[in-house]
Structure 1
Amino acid sequence: MAELEVKKHLKKIIGVIKLPNNGGWLKKLGAIAVEVAIIVFSLVLANALHNYSLRKHQEEECKIFLQGLKEDLKADISTLKENILFYKEADSSYRYLNNLPSISELDKGRLNYSLSGINISCSFRPHSSRYEGFKSSGKLLQIEDQKLLYNILLLYQEKIQNLGLSENAWLSSHNRLMNYLMEETDIDINNIETAVAHKIFNQRKVKNYTSVLIPWDQLLERYQEVLTLEQTIIKQINQHYPENDK
């Protein structure tokens, strides 16, 4: 549309130049100036409308992304809370298995409860595909709230990665214990006699495994950091889109 207007007024300028010089050059220059001003105004207006349209499109893209991200974080928070409970249970179980009382003082129920969970592990797998897609398309900078953008980057580029490092170390130790129990002791952990379990879990090597499987403070602290940051991001998103605050 702007190109057509420019062409139209350029033709007028050429037409003015070709006219006989009856009115003098001053009159021609005035007519040319008017046409040039119209061309400039048309270009400025067209550029402003284009920028406005682009900005509205980017704002809508950003809104859709942040609303979707909030749902991803809600799902993550549910998983984080479940995993924290798992590691707290693991803390109790592995502490007991690492320091078993004598066979005469052994609480069979407590032993069986602790043994029932040692073949179970968990890990945090964030819903990050939406974030990765938005990042790879170079659209993260469309988020104008710099504090919100900072927290999103901090979450995915640092906090979740740090949590993964701590958790992978725990999972590696868990795998070593399970491999040892299956390959070296040839027992069914779900159907084991109390005396046999007491003997195996008092072996120095097994005690070393159960010792490192007592979740260290860093693991739980990093879980809490991710959980707290995700809750903060949701609050920040709700400040921008309160009508979607549920």
Structure 2
Amino acid sequence: MAEQEIAKHTKKVVQLMGKSEHGWRHKLGEMGLEIVTIVFAVSLSIWLHSLGEHRHEQQQVRAFLLGVRHDIGSDLDMIKELNQAYHAYDANFDYLGKLDPHSAPEPQAFEAAYQLADNNYFFNPLVSRYQGFKSSGKLGHIENEVLLDKILELYERHTAGIKSSEAGWRNNQDLYRAYIENGLTGEDSLAERYRLITAPKGKRLLRKRMTYPQLYDRYKDYAALGAEIIKEIDHEYPAAAQEKK
């Protein structure tokens, strides 16, 4: 519609330039009015286009943030499970580390503890939505800068911190596994396993496998910031937040 108006008034300006029945002052006045009309139509067209583009961008932001809210909620559930798992691992390492090398093992309890010592559980956050929005260059469309900063901090700093701490835990597990594998001199029997676990090196490696407080702190920080982000997204879109209740 705006394009049609621009074309119409541009044509009129050209026609006015060719007319000879009016003086130049009259033609200049009419041409000026038409040019002002064209400028207004162009400005209106640009404004309407920008308004439509902004509305589309904010629709994408809304879909992204509500999706991120779901992703972070799932991550927080995983954080709770991880905390429980690592406390269970620590209790298990403590049990194994206190076993007396001169005593006979209680077969069922020892076997269960020995198997658990080989387990692991690492944080696997849902990041594909965030990475896709980031790679498309759309993060800048989020107008709430405080919320954007928190999202960046969560995905760029806190996630990396957790991965770093978990890498240290994984490295200690690898050392423990290598010790068990290389230390078996004969059949993989209960007696052989017990000998390795209760040996000085086995006890030392079990102590090293205890979870560093740093990892628990980083899980806690991630959960706290994630909860803040969910709260702010709910504040941005209260209607959507009510639907989830």
Structure 2 length normalisation: TM-score?
0.90
Q: Secondary structure at the match of 2:29?
A: helix
Q: Which amino acid aligns with 2:211?
A: P
Q: How is 1:46-125 mapped onto 2 (pairs within 5 angstroms)?
A: 46-101=45-100, 103-104=102-103, 111-125=110-124
Q: Which amino acid aligns with 2:113?
A: S
Aligned in 2, Cα 1:24/1:182: closer, same or farther, shift over 3 Å?
A: same
Residue matched to 1:216: 212
- Offset of residue 63 of structure 1: 0.4
Aligned in 2, Cα 1:66/1:83: closer, same or farther, shift over 3 Å?
A: same
- Offset of residue 7 of structure 1: 2.8
Q: Which amino acid aligns with 2:88?
A: E
Residue matched to 1:9: 9
**Partner Cα distance (2:8, 2:37) in 1:** 10
- Offset of residue 119 of structure 1: 1.6
CA contact under 8 A between 1:181 and 1:187: conserved in structure 2?
A: no
**Partner Cα distance (1:117, 1:172) in 2:** 17
Q: Which amino acid aligns with 1:58?
A: E
Find out whether 1:225 has 2:224 as its counterpart. Answer: no
**Partner Cα distance (2:100, 2:240) in 1:** 55
1:200 to 193, 196, 216: 196
**Partner Cα distance (1:236, 1:82) in 2:** 24
Aligned in 2, Cα 1:187/1:162: closer, same or farther, shift over 3 Å?
A: farther
Q: Which amino acid aligns with 2:51?
A: Y
Residue matched to 1:33: 32
- Offset of residue 5 of structure 1: 2.7
Q: Which amino acid aligns with 2:174?
A: N
CA contact under 8 A between 2:183 and 2:196: conserved in structure 1?
A: no
**Partner Cα distance (1:201, 1:102) in 2:** 8
CA contact under 8 A between 1:103 and 1:198: conserved in structure 2?
A: no
CA contact under 8 A between 1:77 and 1:227: conserved in structure 2?
A: yes
- Offset of residue 229 of structure 1: 1.3
CA distances 1:5-35 after superposition (whole Å, capped 9, x unpaired): 3232122112112111x43222111211110
Aligned-residue CA RMSD in angstroms?
2.1
Worse-matched range after superposition: 208-217 or 99-108: 99-108
CA contact under 8 A between 1:76 and 1:127: conserved in structure 2?
A: yes
- Runs of 4+ aligned structure 1 residues displaced above 3 Å come to 1-4, 101-113
Worse-matched range after superposition: 40-49 or 11-20: 11-20
Residue matched to 2:160: 161
Q: Secondary structure at the match of 1:94?
A: helix
Q: Secondary structure at the match of 2:198?
A: coil
- Offset of residue 154 of structure 1: 0.3
Find out whether 1:44 has 2:43 as its counterpart. Answer: yes
- Offset of residue 115 of structure 1: 2.2
Aligned in 2, Cα 1:67/1:187: closer, same or farther, shift over 3 Å?
A: farther
Find out whether 1:235 has 2:234 as its counterpart. Answer: no
Gapped regions of structure 1 (runs ≥ 5): none
Q: Secondary structure at the match of 1:201?
A: helix
**Partner Cα distance (2:87, 2:108) in 1:** 19
CA contact under 8 A between 2:101 and 2:198: conserved in structure 1?
A: no
Structure 1 length normalisation: TM-score?
0.90
**Partner Cα distance (2:86, 2:220) in 1:** 12
